Structure 1
Amino acid sequence: MKAFAYHRPDSVNAAVALSSANENASVLAGGMTLVPTMKQRLATPDHIIDLSGIAGLMGVSMDGGTLVIGALTRHSDVAASALVIEKIPALAALAGRIGDQQVRNRGTIGGSIANNDPAADYPAAVLALGADIVTDRRSIPADEFFVDMFETALEPGEIVTSVRFPLPDSAAYCKFGNPASRYALAGVFVVKTGGTVRVAVTGAAPAVFRASDIEAALTESFTASALERISIDASGLMSDIHADSEYRAQLVMVMARRAVTMASNPG
């Protein structure tokens, strides 16, 4: 690992100032991706800006009808939050299945979505639930946030401070995980709010995406059987040592049907 200068600011403004003042700087949230890539010298920042000393970036609260989760809230805390379990149980269940215990006790929701790993779980929840990502500068709708593999709408030096989730009528997440990493080979988050259905797929493509054909079928009939005539085009999906694109396409539909069944029969 290359030597670096370590900073632990006590405010978002101080963190932004440090990032602006140091060209080759990386922001550290949980470090679940940054630290391993630094060990392999795939990332060689000269400055590390640790956000853990900033008060107010961690915790879960309600703001009217919106569930607000601080960017530094760890996966284990989301999974155990009585408020998340009450308001969006599918989100708590998702958080409880991320990685292993060590990852859940260090990884953060803000770090996960800012990194935008194509097989990460949180991006599917954020996109399907139509959340807003709040930064030190603005609020970004989920539909505009995830751009491509490891790429988001965040500008250089922009820091995620919280994620705001509107409350759905029903939701569920189902994934087929890699048995070693627990990353999703295909994960599907299904949300129904009134007459609107949103479906987000992670793990199958270079970036999380909304499955419009599945959404249309479920809008007509929110049942697993409504998806029997639907298929996913494999041409835009990933093929790697774990699964080829055709297999992932099939997995997406299996996970979608299971998620609909779970959302229709909570508990």
Structure 2
Amino acid sequence: MKPAMMEYYAPTGLDEAATLLAEAAADGGKVIAGGQSLIPMMNFRLVRPPVLIDLGGVAELTSMEVTGSHLSLGAMVTTATVASSSLVRRDWPLLAHAATWVGHDQIRNRGTVGGSVVHADPSAEMPAAMLLADARLEVRSATGSRTVDAADFFWGYMSTALEEDEILVRLSLEIPPPGTRWGFREFAQRHGDFAEAGAACLLPPGGRPRVVAFGAADRPFRAAETESALAADPAADAETLRRAVSRDAEQAGVADRAKIRLLAAMVLRAAAMARD
């Protein structure tokens, strides 16, 4: 199928894009980043935006730099860039590794970090990575800008704190301290498919472990019970971690016991990778 008829705009600046969206948002206008999620939905006519605002020409959204103790990513940075960047590999290797799990080469070359985060598929890698990183998300509208913590951004299945007239501009991730160990694992039926369950783990030296689970609930979630188990005993045995993951999953609304077992297996593998 083909998308419904629409008006198409290709702004070259962020202010121009925000102004266009302010005028179109009330009628269902949308911005498009890499289009790897929105275009298929438009082709199937699941969404029919009367106005489409292409952010591909907004150069200020493609920057990537280290500012002080933070890695700053423009929302239009592609996942392929994240996966291959020596800067990301040096300062946030888990993020670079997670990006390699996103779809296939064609999808990573077009799909953007910001687009994945805004789409908020609960099985996607980039939202999970942002939650793990305690990222801060800068969003902009025609009337101003604000910053949202990743913990407050994901509201539910493909639902976020982003208002209809707002554009995600930048993602800021605090760089983990030297010596931080990490692990990332996910399971999918076929390479490139969305994960049925996945986990990411950070073990900072002298700090509280961070564990995020994804693919099982309506959004990625911090596994607080699992984090506490690892904080109490970094070498916690498999059964202890399985029980902790089960409690975390139930608190996140996961009722399927098979899904919880699969999620526990991914957490165990991510933790083992971090501890090796």
The TM-score range, normalised by the shorter chain, is over 0.9
Residue 179, structure 1, aligned to residue 179, structure 2: no
Distance of 1:229 and 1:111 partners within structure 2? 34
Asked whether the 8 Å contact 1:88–1:171 carries over to 2, the reply is no
Deviations 1:170-193 (A, max 9, x none): 322111123165211111111233
Residue 196, structure 1, aligned to residue 213, structure 2: no
How far residue 24 of structure 1 moved from its aligned partner, in angstroms, is 2.0
Distance of 1:198 and 1:167 partners within structure 2? 14
Asked whether the 8 Å contact 1:223–1:261 carries over to 2, the reply is no
AA of the residue aligned to 1:65 = S
Which residue of 1 is the match for residue 10 of structure 2? 8
Structure 1 vs Structure 2 CA RMSD: 1.6
Which residue of 1 is the match for residue 94 of structure 2? 90
Distance of 2:23 and 2:258 partners within structure 1? 47
TM-score, normalisation: structure 2? 0.89
Instruction: Map 1:142-221; keep pairs closer than 5 Å.
Output: 142-168=150-176, 169-179=180-190, 181-193=192-204, 194-221=206-233
* Secondary structure of residue in 2 paired with 1:179: coil
TM-score, normalisation: structure 1? 0.92
AA of the residue aligned to 1:119 = S
Identical counterparts, % of pairs: 35
Q: Which aligned segments of 4 or more residues in structure 1 are displaced greater than 6 angstroms? A: none
* Secondary structure of residue in 2 paired with 1:73: coil
AA of the residue aligned to 2:209 = V
How far residue 108 of structure 1 moved from its aligned partner, in angstroms, is 0.3
Which residue of 2 is the match for residue 230 of structure 1? 244
How far residue 229 of structure 1 moved from its aligned partner, in angstroms, is 4.4
Distance of 1:84 and 1:34 partners within structure 2? 27
Q: Which runs of 5+ in 2 are unaligned?
A: none
Which residue of 1 is the match for residue 264 of structure 2? 253
Q: 1:180 to 1:95 in 2, by over 3 A?
A: closer
Asked whether the 8 Å contact 2:13–2:60 carries over to 1, the reply is no
Q: 2:48 aligns with which of 44, 59, 67?
A: 44
Query: Which has the higher mean CA deviation after the structures are superposed, 255-264 or 222-231?
Result: 222-231
